[in-house]
Amino acid sequence: MLSVTLRIAARRCFFTGPTSSALRSALRPARSRLATMTIHLRYLSSAEKIFGLTEDVVNMPGLPPIPIPPEPSMSIEELAEAGHSVLNELGLISWWKPSGYFRMALEAMHNHLDLPWWTTIMCATMCLRLAMVFVPIMSQKLVAKQSMYKKELDEFRERIMDAKKEGNNLLQQQVFLEQRDFLKSKDIRLGRQFLIILANGGVFATQFFAIRRMVDVNFPGWATGGALWFTDLTIPDPYYALPLISAVTMGIVARVGIEMGTSTDQMGPGMRLGMLYGLPLFIFVVSSRFASGLCVYWCTSNFISLIYAMLFKMPAIRKVLNIPPVIKYERKAGELSTIAAVYKNYKEQKARPPTLEEMGKEDAQRFKKAGRGKPIVRR
């Protein structure tokens, strides 16, 4: 290693000596050549000239094929716009649920008939209700048959209410048995009413859950598939018009009894009050939080029920379908309204003395409460 003095002398000789310019000029071309090599490019079109590639070399049997990158897959929105099914991609196909088949029918009608989504929902609802037309026919037959014996059924209902007021369970059971024998002799089977309610509930659940699931996943096209003031089917109606229509039409449907196998005239005062006023109010509150697509279905279904009720009032149609006429009874003079009858029953229930059974239950509750309380300590 050189000393400090020799290193300073060598540095001066390199930069200021006569050979310094020659050395710098000798080193400069090498540096420029390196720089030139780094910026030169060679394109693939000249590979044959440089490497001497020919078709025989390129097409050699031992060479693997040139890999081709896969084409980009279409998005769900692009598939829907192209008319392809996207139910499987969104997880909306279920082979063991009826709602899955209803979604398939909705999508098929929209793609093949080129209908907007709100019209598709209405058309699918109409088709399903027409396929289940035997349900309202059974309901009307049951309503007509019960109207023939309305007086007898009202008498049984009053006797049951009197037995409840007295707290006589044995008498209640006796009246129930008499009513059962009477209905059996007149071929009035309340099990049919249960089947009607079950069938209507199954149809409603199928359509409701099918549409709600499509709303939850924001199905392509539903955000702009509405009409008039409800252009977005995935959000609630901002003007509450659809929920109001659903509630009003449901109240009319409950009054005529097209869906339940019995009309409100054949119900007790409490049940009648709940069906005429409580049910529409409940539907309005609940449906105001539902998406517009669900309200479109609900309104369509209720309007179809009203059309059925109008058609079944025609004697010619009732004769063809073998539906007996509904007997109308005039209201008795001094008969209380529905609200007044409910209030009267409530006052009578509050004013009546407790029965032996109720007194026994109250004593048992007091005894149980005393046993769980703090023990009495005598001083």
Within a domain: 6: no
Report pTM.
Answer: 0.65
* Residue-wise pLDDT tens digits, 101-122: 888 888 889 888 888 989 999 9
Q: Which two tokens stand for residue 206?
A: 């199928």
Within a domain: 176: no
Question: For the residues 48-65, what does the mean pLDDT come to?
Answer: 60
Q: Which two tokens stand for residue 213?
A: 């699931």
Within a domain: 141: yes
Within a domain: 136: yes
Query: Is residue 159 scored above 70 in pLDDT?
Result: yes
- Tell me, what's the pLDDT at 118? 92
* Residue-wise pLDDT tens digits, 162-202: 787 777 778 888 888 888 888 888 777 777 777 777 888 88
Q: Which two tokens stand for residue 125?
A: 């609802």
Round to whole Å and give the CA distance between 168 and 165. 8
Within a domain: 359: no
At 221, the pLDDT band (50, 70, 90 cuts) reads confident
Query: Is residue 80 scored above 80 in pLDDT?
Result: no
Within a domain: 270: yes
Within a domain: 241: yes
Parent domain of 230: 80-149+186-327
Within a domain: 227: yes
What total number of domains does the chain contain?
Answer: 1
- Tell me, what's the pLDDT at 120? 92
Most confident option among 93-97, 130-134, 355-359? 130-134
For residue 103, which of 113, 91, 114, 115 has the smallest C-alpha distance?
91
Q: Facing residues of 230 across strands?
A: 227
- Strands annotated E in the chain: none
Dihedral angle computed from the Cα positions of residues 315, 317, 321 and 322, in that order, rounded to the nearest 10 degrees = 10
